[in-house]
Amino acid sequence: MNKNYSAIVKKTLIGTREAAFLLGICCQRVRTLLSQNRIKGAYKHKGFWQIPLYNNMPVVVPGTRGPEGVWSKRLREKPTRIHVNQQKIKANGKRIKNDPQMTPEQLMPVIALKQTNRNDLGYQMEIDGPCRIVYKPYDPLPCGAHLWIETYYPVQFVDTKFKPMTARQAYKYVANHYSKRKF
């Protein structure tokens, strides 16, 4: 038997957090799919889920009823981009100057996470792997950013107030929430 054969057949195993990142869904949804035996080849080993990768992606078996799933079926080609919005920093500064008693909950989130078709906002985040800082003054992002951080690794919003709803907020909800207020 060829020595390289075992290396070819060897499966790469990942946990629920990595699977959630690759599929573009939350960890809780991955655990729900696992409990329904809908992730191909997944098993528990010493209390932790082991999820095999096929073509560098976990395979989710579609359900028999209901709408089609929204998980990713292949690897992303574009990296996750993290952008700090200068306009919101300036607006927060003006709001603090006008009302020094303003609490952090009343300030607009300034860190934008741009991931494929998502645009989420938050106050603090962790990058679990290598990343790079990109400065392109002659080729900005569609949002107008000239400086941003790129990574292919998972990015986790940090919840500083112990409220999961404030850790990661979709842009459309944040924009609507703050547009109703007068600054």
- Evaluate whether 13 touches 49 at the Cβ level (below 8 Å): no
Mean pLDDT of the chain: 77
Q: What is the pLDDT of residue 182?
A: 45
Cβ-Cβ contacts under 8 Å for 123 (sequence gap 6 or more): 104, 109, 110, 111, 158, 160, 166
Based on the domain organization, do 25 and 87 belong to the same domain? no
Domain that holds residue 15: 10-52
Which has more confidence, 159 or 123? 123
Rank 30-39, 55-64, 102-111, 170-179 by mean pLDDT and report only the highest: 30-39
**Is residue 120 located within the same domain as residue 46?**
no
User: What would the mean pLDDT of 68-73 be, rounded to a whole number?
Assistant: 65
Tell whether 85 and 136 lie within a shared domain.
yes
Residue 166's pLDDT band, with cuts at 50, 70 and 90, is: low
Q: Are residues 22 and 108 in the same domain?
A: no
Q: Would 86 be classed as within a structural domain?
A: yes
Q: Are residues 139 and 88 in the same domain?
A: yes
What phi and psi, each to the nearest 5 degrees, are found at residue 26? Answer: -80, 160
pLDDT value of position 31: 92
Regarding pTM above 0.85, the answer is: no
Predicted confidence band of residue 169 (pLDDT cuts 50, 70, 90):
low
Q: Is residue 21 part of a domain?
A: yes
Name every residue whose Cβ is closer than 8 Å to that of residue 81 and which is 6 or more positions away in sequence. Answer: 113, 114, 115, 141, 148, 149, 150
Give 132-152 pLDDT, tens digit per residue. Answer: 999 998 998 888 889 999 988
Per-residue pLDDT averaged across 26-51, rounded? 90
Same domain, 33 and 117: no
Share of the chain above pLDDT 90, in %: 15
Is residue 148 located within the same domain as residue 104? yes
Q: How many domains does the chain have?
A: 2
Co-location of 35 and 85 in the same domain: no
Q: Does residue 163 have a pLDDT over 50? A: yes
Answer yes or no: is pLDDT of 5 > 50.
no
Lowest-confidence region among 31-35, 51-55, 114-118: 114-118
| pLDDT(126) > 60 | yes
